[in-house]
Amino acid sequence: MKLVKKVVTALIVVYLFTVLTQVYITYTITGLAIAAQQQAQGSVGVTLLASCFPPQYIFGARNADNYSVNLNWTAPIYADGYNIYYSSNISEIMTLSLGSLPAGVTKIENISSTNWTDWNAWQVQKRYYLVSTFVDNLECLTSDIPVGKFTYYYTTPQSTVYGPLASNRINLYLNTSYTAEKFLQELPAYLNPTLSRLDKDNAAGEYLTTHVRGLDDGHNFVMAVGQGYQVSINDYFNQTIVGKVYIPPYLLSYDVPNSTVYGILASNWRGVFDFKKSFTAETFLQDIGVDMISALSRLDKDNASGEYLTTHVRGLNDGHNFNVLLGTGYVLTVNIDRNHTLCTNNCFV
């Protein structure tokens, strides 16, 4: 009914204007392009041309089941419906063209409301989402930043020597806001979870600041994108987080203060971002620069050794050139301060 009213109003305005001026005019009124031209008999012909307005903003949230992801978006002034596009390949979503969909992109068509739930999000560790509007035969993609989801797979194997091996090193790479307590509240209380970060000062050297879920311990620190953390829990669990894709440049900063008590405080907990480039321990260290003494360590576990670090030294054929994985926190050891640029431009092509 609203559409009919708009068309009638447009007809009246266009008719009066063209009778007086005898010229061809084009109006755009509330999303409908209206073209009018005087005819030989003095009447006015009106053609309605559909315009497409994409959703301005897209939002995402983890549902309480910890497995599904809920998307919602702002409604444009007019839409026949919406389509969802998602992929586990971030480059396919960040460079998405509606005219040529990559094989890895899934399209969910003809959504009538401004929200949609991905009940299958748990099937993959990471996934990225965009939404489009369609009007008649036109479709337009939102220009907002895609939403991403990532699932951490926490392990707590039982060692016959050391008992439960509860530590898991993670990295926050999506652009989402967490305090230590907020992050831990997304884990069940029965897991007795804690979250630790690496801190440094002159007197204490390198040490862990740990927040316990639900405890007012004064350690409810703010988590930062690109930083590494340690989650300790007493059983296996998968934790899903949802946030916006973090937009380049992708930079890591390494801090190496000199303690008068302990000497050089060389350790930094960091992780990588999701973009077109992947790393091994060696290529990551080579990427930092040739003027540094550097090593990269990951946390490993086994029954006999318990929890231990596997370390690769830059340029050394030590058999420890592991793959650097998304969402995992690593210990980077360097001998001087350094800002490390992973990617600045064209990170997805």
CA atoms of 227 and 196, how far apart (whole Å):
11
Long-range contacts of residues 156-165, Cβ cutoff 8 Å, at least 24 apart: 156/233, 156/234, 156/235, 156/236, 157/301, 157/303, 159/301, 159/302, 159/303, 159/304, 159/306, 160/303, 161/303, 161/304, 161/306, 162/306, 162/307, 164/234, 165/301, 165/306, 165/307
**pLDDT exceeds 80 at position 12:** no
pLDDT in tens, 98-138: 999 999 999 999 999 999 999 999 999 999 999 999 999 99
CATH number of 58-144: 2.60.40
Residues with Cβ < 8 Å from 320, sequence gap 6 or more?
Answer: 281, 310, 311, 312
- Amino acid sitting at position 18: T
Q: For residue 154, which of 176, 118, 186, 120 has the smallest C-alpha distance?
A: 186
pLDDT in tens, 74-105: 999 999 999 999 999 999 999 999 999 999 99
Which of the four pLDDT bands, split at 50, 70 and 90, describes residue 50? low
Edge-first strand order for the sheet with 205-212 is 167-171, 228-232, 194-201, 205-212
The pLDDT value given to residue 289 = 82
Q: Are 66 and 50 in contact (CB under 8 A)?
A: no
Which of the four pLDDT bands, split at 50, 70 and 90, describes residue 49? low
**pLDDT exceeds 50 at position 288:** yes
| CATH 2.60.40 domain locations along the chain | 58-144
CA atoms of 229 and 259, how far apart (whole Å):
23
CA atoms of 131 and 53, how far apart (whole Å):
12
Sign for the CA dihedral angle at 63, 165, 273, 94 comes to: negative
pTM: 0.86
| End-to-end CA, the chain | 46
